A and B are shown apart, each in its own frame.
Chain A
């Protein structure tokens, strides 16, 4: 079983701030996902990473396989970024999820 830990659990930021959310896992994986869950409950897949770094708009995700750690960065944060961000890892054919980081961006 893979333990997935996220930090922080809750994060409040002012609009425009640079945000970092961290994820660590306990066992080697084949892939790591960052997901966004909106207040209404819907889940959107943001990134899938197996190595290195990916960028999409203001979002950047990195992964360090040796350290079993990934980060999600949001540059120039905006109130519409307010959501829960979830890290999930694929281990074998199963997926394990973190508890999520609740982000609130204040105008």
Chain B
């Protein structure tokens, strides 16, 4: 069964450094999402992406964040200058056109900012 993959599974970085989290959505999916979950807290929506542009973003998704689909398979989340409070699990998800409400989640990347 096709699945969403994410790399790395765990990323440790120093405060102020840039990080790029990578996701490979399911191949025929056209809607892509990033979520984050700070340890012990609820999952939060960050951004949705369709047709090579952001379709919706939350108030969390400020200028420090950006998303990109650099090629036909990858979908990335970049955090320009990481802060301690960016430490969280980041989940990527994707869905098919016409079935946007059914999302498939990746296993997550745990980001630790020191």
* A40–chain B nearest beta-carbon distance, Å: 8
Residue from A44, A50, A93, A99 in contact with B42 in the complex, judged by beta carbons closer than 8 Å: A99
Residue of A at shortest CB range from B58? A94
Q: Tell whether, in the assembled complex, residue A42 and residue B101 are in contact, meaning their CB atoms are under 8 Å apart.
A: no
A97 near B108 (CB under 8 angstroms)? no
Interface of B is mostly: strand
Q: Give residues of chain B (72-114) contacting chain A, Cβ–Cβ below 8 Å.
A: 89, 91, 101-105, 107-108, 110
A18 contacts across to B, CB distance below 8 A: none
On whether the beta carbons of B105 and A42 are closer than 8 Å, the reply is yes
Residue A48 is within 8 A (CB to CB) of chain B in the complex: yes
Which of A48, A95, A98 has the largest count of B CB atoms less than 10 A from its CB?
A: A95
Question: How does the 8 Å CB contact mask read for A57-88 relative to B, with 1 for contact and 0 for none?
Answer: 00000000000000000000000000000101
Residue among A44, A86, A97 with max Cβ neighbours from chain B (10 Å): A97
Instruction: Kindly supply a per-residue 1/0 record for chain B positions 31-61, scoring 1 wherever the CB is within 8 Å of any chain A CB and 0 otherwise.
Output: 0010101000111110010000001101000
Contacts of A33 in B (CB 8 A): 101, 103
Interface string of A40-61 (1 = CB under 8 A from B): 0111110010100000000000
**Contact at A41–B42, with CB atoms within 8 Å?**
no
Instruction: With both chains docked as a complex, state the minimum distance between the C-beta of A104 and any C-beta of chain B, in angstroms.
Output: 17
**A41 CA / B55 CA spacing, docked (Å):** 27
Given A41-B110, A43-B91, A92-B56, A48–B44 Cβ distance below 8 Å?
no
Q: Which residues from A are CB-within-8-Å of B42?
A: 86, 97-100
B interface, CB within 8 angstroms of A: 33, 35, 37, 41-45, 48, 55-56, 58, 89, 91, 101-105, 107-108, 110
20 additional contacts, CB 8 Å, given A41-B110, A93-B55, A94-B56? A41-B37, A41-B107, A42-B105, A43-B108, A45-B103, A48-B102, A50-B101, A86-B42, A88-B43, A90-B101, A93-B56, A94-B45, A94-B48, A94-B58, A95-B45, A96-B45, A97-B42, A98-B42, A99-B41, A99-B42
